[in-house]
Amino acid sequence: MATPDPHTAKLLKRRYRAERRFKALCIGALSFAVAFLVLFFADIISKGYPAFQQTKIQTEVTYSERSVELPLAAVGEDVRYLVSRGFLRQIPDQVERDPDLMGRTVTRWVTADTDVDQYLKGKHSKLSEEDEQIVDRLAEEGRAELAFNWSLFTAGDSTMPEMAGIRSAVVGTLFTLLVTMLVSFPVGVMTAVYLEEFAPDNRLTRAIEVNINNLAAVPSILYGLLGLAVFINFFGVPRSSALAGGLTLALMTLPIIIISTRAALRSVPDSIREGAFGVGASRLQMVAHHVLPLSLPGILTGSIIGLAQAMGETAPLLIVGMMAFIPASPDGVMDAATVLPAQIFSWASRPERAFAELTAAGIIVLLVVLLTLNAAAVLLRKRFERRW
């Protein structure tokens, strides 16, 4: 093997050093990204985990005419100010739903006040020393304990942290995404099919393609302004409704679905099209019977990712009024509603410490849903992917 001359050997050493530096920088960038993700998830999970637990106090609840008029009288004096005011306010509703409760005294596990909850979780609370001694005694007697916080998923928004939940936001999110999917998916797919399979190649179609690509990079808040001007001010769609939010998000999702659908259509080899034409199929039959079924995994993958991105959006929904305080779940797309990202934003702006836990818990739920949608997109692509 010939030995390189000194000048060539020097150049080779310099090139290898440059390669090693570049590789080290790439590994450093990857390590930084992984460390940031680990730090982010560790911080969110450590802050949000306590919200999945809620302090319950076992006490006797008396249902009588006096407790219906004065709910504080429903529980004993020793725990009267340790029980959540939200639970006591539900006493008249409980009697109305179940009249057999009237005149009875029932031993129940009831939701504790947020200060009691924070104290049992080892955090700062506003309890007096006397109240802390009572809580300690109840905990020793087994009458106060931390349990899974089911109300986080079954209750709507509330000004009291111990009574707040994400149910109304989840229902509003589902209605909003339903409208978004029903509008953006068929319109986006049909637009992509026309541009890719039927439209002539001229200046007009090229201009449309360029503008569609540019729309995918437009800041999302501009879609909110467009939705406010068109759907609410012009068409009169109710403000804060899932219909207004869904139509606005459909505008934002359309470019993503069109671009991903066109990419999926282009991935189908031309030999498939030529084979269809060769057996006498029309262009419509070629698209409907051959190209669309083969490109469907890519279309579904792009659509799911587009919907997942829409689900995490907050800015355009703030413009169309979906930041309102909505304690009850909407019954339809025309009712006032909020969505999970807006609910998280609302909790983050409240001063009580317990709402910080709920904010992190809401982010965890949102991340789980988004990761599930992305995993579904990957599985669909892997399951139906065809290699040519």
Which is nearest to 49 in space by CA: 377, 386, 327, 358?
A: 358
Return the CA Rg of the chain.
29
pTM over 0.75, yes/no: yes
Residue bearing tokens 């909020």: 338
Q: If DSSP states are collapsed to H, E and C, what string results for 337-371?
A: CCCHHHHHHHHHCCCCHHHHHHHHHHHHHHHHHHH
- 350-382 b/e (C-beta count within 10 Å ≥ 16 → b): eebebbbbbbbbbbbbbbebeeebeeebeebbe
Q: What is the CATH number of domain 166-384?
A: 1.10.3720.10
| Whole-number Å distance between alpha carbons of 323 and 339 | 8
Given this model, what pLDDT does residue 73 score?
A: 84
Given this model, what pLDDT does residue 2 score?
A: 64
- Tokens (6 digits) for 42: 């560790």
Which is nearest to 111 in space by CA: 125, 136, 91, 133?
A: 91
Which positions ≥6 away from 209 have C-beta within 8 Å?
A: 195
DSSP secondary structure code for residue 52 in this structure: G
Which is nearest to 61 in space by CA: 101, 114, 113?
A: 101
Domain residue limits, the chain: 51-148, 166-384
Per-residue confidence in pLDDT tens, the chain, 388 aa: 567 788 888 888 899 999 999 999 999 999 999 999 999 999 999 988 889 999 999 989 888 888 888 888 888 888 888 888 888 888 888 888 888 888 888 898 999 999 999 998 888 888 888 888 888 998 998 889 999 999 889 888 888 888 899 999 999 999 999 999 999 999 999 999 999 999 888 888 889 888 888 888 888 888 889 899 999 999 998 888 899 999 999 999 999 999 999 999 998 989 999 999 999 889 999 999 999 988 888 888 888 888 888 888 888 888 888 877 888 888 888 988 888 888 898 888 888 888 899 999 999 998 898 888 888 878 877 777 666 6
Given this model, what pLDDT does residue 179 score?
A: 94
